[in-house]
Structure 1
Amino acid sequence: MQPAQRLSTLSFLLLTLACGQTSKFQENDFLQFLGLEKAPSPQRFQPVPRVLRKIFQAREAAAASGASQDLCYVKELRVRGNLLQLLPDQGFFLNAQRPSQDGSCLQKVLYFNLSAIEGKGKLTMAQLTLDLGPRSYYNLGPELVVALSVVEEPGMCGESHPNPNRLLAQQSIWGPQGPLHFNLQHVVKNWDSNRLKNLGLYLEILAKEERYSGVNVQPENPCGRLIRFLHASLLVVTLNPEHCHPSPRKRRAAIPVPKGSCRTLCHRHQLFINFRDLGWHKWVIAPKGFMANYCHGDCPFSMTTYLNSSNYAFMQALMHAVDPGVPKAVCIPTKLSPISMLYQDNDENVVLRHYEDMVVDECGCG
């Protein structure tokens, strides 16, 4: 779809949605524009992950201040991307009831459903975060050895216990000391190219002898504490170049419309899209709506040079004056800006996504 067609289609969909003239077909068109097959219907809102909330708030603050920003670059993570998803762990414990005698506190299969990753998106980041629980004030817990492996073969003879084949990382820490992060970009790329290879990860945490001798002031057994507080998530960032425009070319400076000019001339009109009016408040977390605006008005030949018009629009208006069979120049958006949205997708994952060409900033004849 050409840029001019994208703009006219988007403007039409926004107008019909905002004016209550939408049909199910038009709503589905707009949902597909947003990258959704259908409107999500979550049972309840999931808590917004701190990392996504922080990035969204920074973008909102920058937009409110008028600062220029590239929403296809996540500066907080230092990667390119227009779609951020935090996938929850759907795995299971292997020895939650009886820790092993060899010091193995915790054994768990971590599994992340990658079906929400779009096929056209280029994976730019996949980061596993392991939160082992709140930090110990006295820091008297045992030394923990965290081992992470890739599961490449299922359990033998129907056994649920997997066969970890490739060690990814091994790290020693003194008790819970904040979240641990692991780069899984190459692993997730391999899974994404062949979904059948996604058998998950094997996590094992071993507890060595106490760091200090003496009374243990931990409120509970360290193994039970790990099993109780462990939380794993996978942050996936993808980039779809089709949805990220390069820096726009500079247009010639617009000549201001003379004072007292007729209000029927081409100019920007305010239009606020309220997600509650559309029933989308059930799955859109933020923003609650946005000022989309639209363009409307006449483009008479005598005023073309005053209405932020392109050279082509001027020539088209000139040809229309000579030959009425040539269509008139029409009032269209000449400058648009993007927005970011936080929402829950059809799998109830919390998503932060960047959308180009959502807000009309300037209008002109074209």
Structure 2
Amino acid sequence: MLPSLPVLALGYLLTLALSQPFQFQEYVFLQFLGLDKVPSPQKFQPLPYILKKIFQDQEAAATAGVPQDLCYVKQLGVPGNVLRLLPDRGFFLYPKKLSQPSPCLQKLLYFNLSAIKEKEQLTMAQLGLDLGPRSYYNLGPELELALFLVQEPHVWGQSSPRPGKIFALQSVPSPQGALYFNLLDVAKDWNDNPQKNLGLFLEILVKEDRDSGMDFQLEDTCVRVRSSLHASLLVVTFNPEQCPPSSRKRRAAIPALRASCKNLCQRHQLYINFQDLGWHKWIIAPKGFMANYCHGDCPFSLTTSLNCSSYAFMQALMHAVDPKIPQAVCIPTKLSPISMLYRDNDDNVILRHHEDMVVDECGCG
């Protein structure tokens, strides 16, 4: 039986770290991460606090040996094992006049959902609009924000998108900070029918308040909002094939080695440093991880005490009868996952849980 992709990926990392002569191709590990080539990020979009917190919470739980469900995002309250932060790939539209009631800002928001794989189920899609940091000392006028679904295709950079059904309309103080909108139903429709993904049309107006007694320069306000605006889409997906019920819990603790003799089959420590592999430019966290590896002898006399399978015991027995039959070898018998935060080839930021990346137990097989 051919080894699984996670086992090949871990084998590739161990091969690099141990400088073994057998060369795995780099694409094996990249394919495991859902990549077709080594990412070369061109833009570094801001990393939201929630992604940092989720990753840090998972790392803290793993270090403390606390079991956790890696197919449920408790911080967001949704099932999922892959989180992606998609950057906005739209463009600004510039009105010729900036006077009431002309819009202060118009922008097409566009998010490429092609990174989502066929078997992944969308469980969350949250649009984030950052209008600049909150301030209690530099108050601005009240803004009116409107979001529309784009109705018809348009020529990028040449024609204005035609707004269709209004998606959201609200008044916000300025400066407001970050605003969030639930885009799950829209994103599901886009994901199922990519031709419908024509983007969102964002329009922001400055509300005129004659009773406020405050004098705001319209142009200055619009320039500030336009320069501060940052849009992104946080999507969470769940892959049932990667989350079978029997393997959704992270192992609580690493058991003690069954054999103390250094020549017998057992787990050895090995730290994988991503900087040594030249991958630190696109892997955000962790900087590395303790992968470990299995090594040692599997003598027939001790097969029952070296965490062996029944098949390995019978193979060792047959080897004793016929030396042409190979001996059982020292292999991983229990592995656990790690979480990785990295950038892909489209400058998306991904938080993903990868199974079978850390060797916890070894045995003869």
Compute the TM-score of the two structures, normalised by the length of structure 2: 0.86
Q: Aligned residue for 2:67?
A: 68
Q: Which AA in structure 1 matches 2:62?
A: A
- Provide, for residues 196-220 of structure 1, a one-character-per-residue CA deviation record: whole Å limited to 9, x for no partner: 2221101112332328522347897
Q: Which runs of 5 or more structure 2 residues have no equivalent in the other structure?
A: none
Q: Which runs of 5 or more structure 1 residues have no equivalent in the other structure?
A: none
- Cα gap change, 1:5/1:323 in structure 2, threshold over 3 Å: closer, same or farther? farther
- Cα gap change, 1:255/1:319 in structure 2, threshold over 3 Å: closer, same or farther? farther
Q: CA deviation at 1:14?
A: 2.6
- Cα gap change, 1:94/1:43 in structure 2, threshold over 3 Å: closer, same or farther? closer
- Equivalences for 1:57-206 in 2 at 5 Å? 57-95=56-94, 98-99=97-98, 101-102=100-101, 104-137=103-136, 141-155=140-154, 160-206=159-205
State how far apart, in whole Å, the 2-side matches of 1:171 and 1:278 are: 49
Q: In structure 1, the residue corresponding to 2:94 is in which secondary structure? A: coil
Q: Which AA in structure 2 matches 1:82?
A: N
- Equivalences for 1:299-338 in 2 at 5 Å? 299-318=298-317, 320-321=319-320, 328-338=327-337
Q: Aligned residue for 1:234?
A: 233
Identity of aligned residues (%): 66
Q: CA deviation at 1:330?
A: 2.9
- Provide, for residues 228-271 of structure 1, a one-character-per-residue CA deviation record: whole Å limited to 9, x for no partner: 21211111112223333433499xxx89746xx53221100112
Q: CA deviation at 1:328?
A: 3.9
State how far apart, in whole Å, the 1-side matches of 2:76 and 2:184 are: 14
State how far apart, in whole Å, the 2-side matches of 1:204 and 1:153 are: 17
- Cα gap change, 1:319/1:116 in structure 2, threshold over 3 Å: closer, same or farther? same
State how far apart, in whole Å, the 1-side matches of 2:135 and 2:183 are: 28
Moved more, 352-361 or 160-169: 160-169
Compute the TM-score of the two structures, normalised by the length of structure 1: 0.85
Q: Aligned residue for 2:272?
A: 273
State how far apart, in whole Å, the 1-side matches of 2:50 and 2:310 are: 45
Confirm or deny: 8 A CA contact 1:256 1:306 kept in the other structure: no
Q: CA deviation at 1:72?
A: 2.3
State how far apart, in whole Å, the 1-side matches of 2:296 and 2:17 are: 19
Confirm or deny: 8 A CA contact 1:40 1:345 kept in the other structure: yes
Q: In structure 2, the residue corresponding to 1:143 is in which secondary structure? A: strand
Q: CA RMSD, aligned part only?
A: 3.1
State how far apart, in whole Å, the 2-side matches of 1:229 and 1:255 are: 54
- Provide, for residues 101-136 of structure 1, a one-character-per-residue CA deviation record: whole Å limited to 9, x for no partner: 325322211111223223332222111011122224
Confirm or deny: 8 A CA contact 2:87 2:347 kept in the other structure: no
Q: CA deviation at 1:142?
A: 3.3
State how far apart, in whole Å, the 1-side matches of 2:77 and 2:280 are: 31
- Cα gap change, 1:257/1:58 in structure 2, threshold over 3 Å: closer, same or farther? closer
Confirm or deny: 8 A CA contact 1:45 1:283 kept in the other structure: no
Confirm or deny: 8 A CA contact 1:81 1:237 kept in the other structure: yes
Q: Aligned residue for 1:19?
A: 18
Q: Which AA in structure 2 matches 1:289?
A: G
- Cα gap change, 1:348/1:333 in structure 2, threshold over 3 Å: closer, same or farther? same
State how far apart, in whole Å, the 2-side matches of 1:242 and 1:16 are: 27
State how far apart, in whole Å, the 2-side matches of 1:352 and 1:94 are: 33
State how far apart, in whole Å, the 2-side matches of 1:92 and 1:247 are: 46
Q: In structure 1, the residue corresponding to 2:134 is in which secondary structure? A: coil
State how far apart, in whole Å, the 2-side matches of 1:9 and 1:275 are: 17
Q: Which AA in structure 1 matches 2:128?
A: T
Q: CA deviation at 1:162?
A: 1.7
Q: In structure 2, the residue corresponding to 1:247 is in which secondary structure? A: helix
Q: Aligned residue for 1:282?
A: 281
Q: In structure 2, the residue corresponding to 1:276 is in which secondary structure? A: coil
Q: Aligned residue for 1:33?
A: 32
Q: Aligned residue for 2:221?
A: 222
Residue correspondences, number:
359
Moved more, 343-352 or 47-56: 47-56
State how far apart, in whole Å, the 1-side matches of 2:318 and 2:107 are: 72
- Cα gap change, 1:255/1:274 in structure 2, threshold over 3 Å: closer, same or farther? closer
- Provide, for residues 282-311 of structure 1, a one-character-per-residue CA deviation record: whole Å limited to 9, x for no partner: 221221211111112222332222122344
- Provide, for residues 124-159 of structure 1, a one-character-per-residue CA deviation record: whole Å limited to 9, x for no partner: 211101112222415854332221111021359x96
Q: Which AA in structure 2 matches 1:88?
A: P
Q: In structure 2, the residue corresponding to 1:281 is in which secondary structure? A: coil
State how far apart, in whole Å, the 1-side matches of 2:7 and 2:214 are: 72
State how far apart, in whole Å, the 2-side matches of 1:191 and 1:7 are: 30
State how far apart, in whole Å, the 1-side matches of 2:256 and 2:87 are: 53
Q: CA deviation at 1:318?
A: 4.4
- Cα gap change, 1:96/1:325 in structure 2, threshold over 3 Å: closer, same or farther? farther
Q: Aligned residue for 2:261?
A: 262
- Cα gap change, 1:234/1:8 in structure 2, threshold over 3 Å: closer, same or farther? closer
- Cα gap change, 1:128/1:47 in structure 2, threshold over 3 Å: closer, same or farther? closer
Q: In structure 2, the residue corresponding to 1:280 is in which secondary structure? A: coil
